[in-house]
Amino acid sequence: MPEAVDGYCLSAAGLTKRFGGFHALRDVDIAVREGSIHAVIGPNGAGKTTLFNLLSGVMAPDSGEIRFRDRPLGRLRPHGRAALGIARTFQNIRLFGHMTVLENVMLGEHWRIYPSLWRSFLKAAWHRPFGEAPEETEMRRRALETLEFVGLAEKRHAMATDLPYGEQRLLELGRALAMEPGLLLLDEPAAGMNIRETEDLDALICRVRDRGVTVVLVEHDMNLVMGISDWITVLNFGDKIAEGHPSEVQRDPAVIEAYLGEEETL
Ligand code: ADP
Ligand code: MG
């Protein structure tokens, strides 16, 4: 996957999204450096998930443009963006509950290889009368490597939804990594995790970045955000109100004001 000439992995300009008359996002610009960890923060309802929905192609913006490694994404659907190297996880975990941990990760790989045929794989996972094809053996091996990377190899035969929430989030992250993305969008990956799990996640996200994957992170856990982010964009009521290095953003009066009355403090 070629790197962007200007050093930005992702850039978006003038992103606006309305629901009815309500602005969920208003004229937001964001530029994410190749190889960085870039956090998007803001109080509940600020528009963070909406931004991810626009970046990943789940929703189309009312106006604005998104470029990935200098290529305009236009109206490309999520599977088309995934094939280019944009993967995401969801604030509300979306796993295939009737499949094992390993199969969920294999599905991520399959999506990368055959983005339009993943449904046939789902069927194949249920009906396997003639044993396993060689490609499937290779996919299984790679999926196991990914599970080792996220620390879930021992749970590979468990049903996905039998895992505690923290591990379900790791699994979703593993499934996204199996797509071998250049850009990974993580929507509240620490939600439902205890302090210990959050610390491990902190290290894991850094290892993902060290593999050359650019990470955009929506997260409420400020220790996590301030500790690992190279750059932070702050949204409030759909507007971008600040951006900068963690130390600058933390001291920004507009950011402090936006968080007053929120449970989370900077
Ligand atoms: P955040 O992730 O920062 O908490 P969201 O992007 O989920 O915020 O939501 C921003 C605003 O847009 C909220 O007021 C929310 O109710 C509204 N919103 C988000 N998605 C939809 C949708 N699909 N339909 C209608 N309103 C939505
Ligand atoms: Mg959200």
Condensed to tens digits (0 to 9), the pLDDT of residues 50-89 reads 999 999 999 999 999 999 998 999 999 998 999 999 999 9
Average pLDDT of the chain, as a whole number = 89
Mutation probe of ligand 1 site: the residue of 19, 25, 241 with most atoms within 8 A of C-beta: 19
Residue 18, CA atoms < 13 Å, CB-side half-sphere: 6
* Residue 235 near residue 28, CB atoms below 8 Å: yes
Res 124: pLDDT? 60
CA of 50 to the centre of ligand 1 (A): 6
| Residue 244, helix vs strand vs coil | strand
List average pLDDT for each run of 10 residues in the chain, which is 266 residues long.
71 97 97 98 96 97 96 93 93 87 88 58 57 75 96 96 93 95 96 91 96 96 93 97 96 90 57
CA of 238 to the centre of ligand 1 (A): 9
Going by alpha carbons, the residue nearest to atom 13 of ligand 1 is 45
Kindly tell me the burial class for residue 106, based on how many C-beta atoms sit within 10 Å of its own C-beta (0-12, 13-18, 19 or more).
buried
Res 174: pLDDT? 96
* Closest ligand to the CA of 47: 1
Res 101: pLDDT? 96
Provide CB contacts within 8 A for 87, sequence distance 6+. 108, 176, 177, 179, 181, 183, 184, 185
Q: How many CB atoms are located within 10 Å of the residue 136 CB? A: 17
| Beta-carbon neighbours within 5 Å of ion ligand 2 | 48-49, 91
CA distance 248 to 266: 12
What burial letters (b/e) apply to 35-74, b meaning 16+ CB within 10 Å?
bbbbbbbbbeebbbbbbbbbbbbeeebeebebbbbeeebe
| Residue 116, helix vs strand vs coil | coil
Res 1: pLDDT? 46
CA distance 182 to 22: 33
**What number of helices (H) and strands (E) belong to the chain?**
10, 10
What six digits make up the tokens of 86?
């944009």
* CB 17 near ligand 1, within 6 Å: no
| Residue 138, helix vs strand vs coil | helix
Going by alpha carbons, the residue nearest to atom 27 of ligand 1 is 19
Res 119: pLDDT? 54
